[in-house]
Structure 1
Amino acid sequence: MNTYNSISEFPNKKTVVTIGTFDGVHLGHKKVIAKIISNAEELNCESTVLTFFPHPRVVLQNGESLKLLNTIEEKKFLLDKLGLTNLIIHPFDNEFAQLSAEDFVKKILIDQLHVHKIIIGYDHRFGKNRSADIKDLLLFGQKYGFEVEQISAQEIDEIAISSTKIRTSLEEGVITLANGYLGYNYFFSGTVVKGNQLGRTLGFPTANIQIAEDYKLIPKKGVYIVKSKINGKDCIGMMNIGTRPTVDGKNQSIEVHFLDQNIDLYNKKITIELLAFIREEQKFESVEALKNQLEKDKQFCSDYINNSTV
């Protein structure tokens, strides 16, 4: 997949285009991408997704705090796996937001992307103040000679419902449901940094994960079963997201104890896949009680893995 960091970088090639955030690149999004790819093959064009960063809502709503399912790098990885030819991640700013609907069509779709066909949702709005809709786009298509195909209301509703359910499920710790809508295990990547090493004293050494992107959605506090590929091997672990109340922790941390592994991961970047939620984070009456619960959590993880195909 070719990736471009600006519309201006795109070469002179005919395209079949769709536009959107595609956050999560979930099962609903995959249907749209498949449609783009098949149309591009039929029309001898290149399948192309135009997306924006930062998210337009953050810019238009004065820095609204918005948590996303994917970082830019994750989105690239997921779209590349689908066989897309081109991904354009254009910087969204107030200047771009001021483009009139026709300027957007003429300067962006025609002059830069050489669009042969655009496949877009029936509810898509574009141009300054989001003033134009699918009816306007159909008229522009007739004027400038490109085809417009609407994604059905049913498909768009499915995508919207899936995105909402995925976010809600992650915020509530219902990981299996979120993974079902995504079509893959929810994941995040981060660098392993030194913590206070309390886990080591308890017999449960942990990798303390630091995620660079503050806009990445972190699931609810609690203990999870997770998986990570380390040195080419799948490693199962139990992860805690929270403030470690038993030891008077204050800042939220993400810590993973890998079962039956003793690997030096400091300063390495690893990817964590979430498999299941075990329990809520809780404050124990003593460190010994915490240790006893961790033993139970570890046994729960082992039983889960032994009874499932991960």
Structure 2
Amino acid sequence: MSQSPLKPEELTVAVPGGELAVLRWPAAEPDAPTVVAVHGITANGLAWYEVARQLAGRVTLLAPDLRGRGGSRAVAGPYGLARHADDVAALITALGTGPTTVVGHSMGAWVTALAAVRHPELVRRVLLVDGALTFPLPEGIREKDTLAAVLGPALARLSMTFPDRDAYREFWQRHPAFGAAWSAEIDAYTQRDLVGVEPELRSSCVLEAVQTDGAQVLLDQDAATAVHRLPCPAELLWAERGLLDEPQGLYDHQRIGLAGLDRERVPASLVPDTNHYSILWGEPGAERIVRGLLADVTAAG
């Protein structure tokens, strides 16, 4: 593939409230299929760099920065998972790629499922990566506290400033799910999040967007039921470990059963030796995602 995974093409697509930034890794052949990839709650489109590398030009990969993040930071609210789903639909429509396979990670998996439900004519298949299944909050637990506990440092950084890029790099290197796997590629992905000027650099993520979207991941009924109402073929992949690299991940066979997932309609597979983040950039996870995507586009062809 001629396009560097860390230096994709950049384009914009008009959506209500502004211009959505989109990263594009083009296919080697002009008639190759297109895949849209939707990132997580405080991430940006460059999170898909390793998937892009392993796809190696066999499809065109489009990864938007969701509104309120990265290059789409200035796109106005309202925020929310349905708004992001409609932005994905606007991207597919504007670029004329539909019906399209959509893959979503973490919060992006809820967005992906909602996009398929709200715009079935545009989404032909979905791949859900460590997300899209919602569990009820324990009684008496507030969503704000739950979001902070689950996201940990990823959320805390949104209220912080950093004197220089090295300080931001060191912040992420201390994250238990990032530090051991640190690489030039992870560095480029995290550095893309920075905005402002020294000595007051900060995350590009708009706090209101993250809070709104996070509350809906935890509580919104349309989002919670989307995975059970999918109008297209789907697959769920889940990571063995959690957001802080803890042994218990978001899902396991028992939790998936309790969530009522119909595993005949939505097959679900464990991706061993991955955590919530490394499922995107580690060898086992990215390879498994790519295998699923290429099996689908091969069947489509």
> Which TM-score tier does this pair reach, normalised by the shorter chain?
0.3 to 0.5
Q: What TM-score comes out, normalization by structure 2 length?
A: 0.33
Q: Which has the higher contact order (CA 8 A, sep 6+)?
A: 2
Q: What TM-score, normalized by structure 1, do the two folds share? A: 0.32
Return the index of the structure with the highest Cα Rg.
Answer: 1
